[in-house]
Structure 1
Amino acid sequence: MVDDIVLEVVTIANTEQKEVRIGLSHLYQRYFKPFLIALHREQAGLDIKVVVSDSGYLERLLIERDLDFALIQHPADTGAFDCIDLKPVQLVAVAPKSMDEFSNCTSISMTQLLSREIIMLRRSSGSGTFEALQEQFRKQGISLNNTLTMSQPEAILDMLESGMNCVALLPDSEISPSHRTDCHVMKIEQAPLVFFPSIVKLTSTRFIHDVDRLIRDLEDYA
């Protein structure tokens, strides 16, 4: 959950005057939580600063050298970046408990989504997963009723739990155990892959040794 991870800037005890500046996308806050916890646990002498925003903004901070690396969606334009790509995250459909028609559903087809009001993720600027999904739907002749777009999975889940009768399209990694209890979470049949978490830095910079080792140790490293 959002309370379990840094929302603005996290500073961890600085005993050796070492600092690492990390960008964390709203899109993958839960996905990258184990990495940040391991970094905190193993590097007590490292001053860690985490900025949480959308992937597009964090890419700009990388280019401006205000971050050392970022945990974000794989960039559309990788020209300036080195990327360590991790396993794609599955797209799932999430509906509130008040939508009784989904009570016994474990999966839903793309065509079944046609008649539903949809909430989708969309970054504040630039092209991202929203545009990628729209393109995939167009190729299949599907036109969705988009009633709302938001930038944070947790904000969307809060809306559903508060009774908004819509179906949200979200990365499976961001659905917590409590959300799986409080909402209907369904696999999407033949769902397109659009969520590609990546650890990104400028080609002209390098990871400090300890961070590089933790990245190699990620269980989901592909």
Structure 2
Amino acid sequence: MHAMQYEITLPADYDMGIIRERVAAKGHLLDDCPGLGAKAYLIRERGIDGSPVNQYAPFYLWNTPEGMNSFLWGPGFQGIVDDFGRPQVQHWTGLAFADGAAAGASSKATKSAKSAKSAIRRRIRVPAATHLGGLAAELADETSQLVQREGAIYAAAAIDPRTWEALLFSVWDHESPKGQGDVFQVLHVSAPERTLLPAGRQW
């Protein structure tokens, strides 16, 4: 599993309705994307849930590098570049994934998670003295614990061994969930291969 995100920070007076309309018109285009486990179309709005910025910041979980590459070198990402400029694409190698009770049998069978309302992303700097195997196990355990909470749809843990940044990402069926990290609104989730994402720890 590969986790990926890019953040497009917009002016303070930007009409976020433009992003909402964009996702409403184009979000379904990745509902059948090969290699894509799940893409959460995320926004933050200045002054809401503690956000200091307006931002469009979709978060991806890829099953295959071929799927990720097809998106990055194809028309989908080029459309982002054409409209907003080329953003820095952050990516992390997967440590763990888990579905929550709120995913529901019907949601798992479809290609989108229509009940998703919000997401939390917690970034964790990994000090040089950290025992890496212990950290990975802790993050995998926390992923499992997150999805046991009411309203959890799915959660993932990942790490970037270049910058030594780890993260926990979770998607929820209600607004303004409680938890540490940046809170995002979810406008849509494309999940063509979410059931193929490897469950549990990934080493």
Query: Shorter chain as normaliser: what TM range?
Result: under 0.3
TM-score by length of 1: 0.25
- TM-score of the superposed pair, with normalisation by structure 2: 0.26
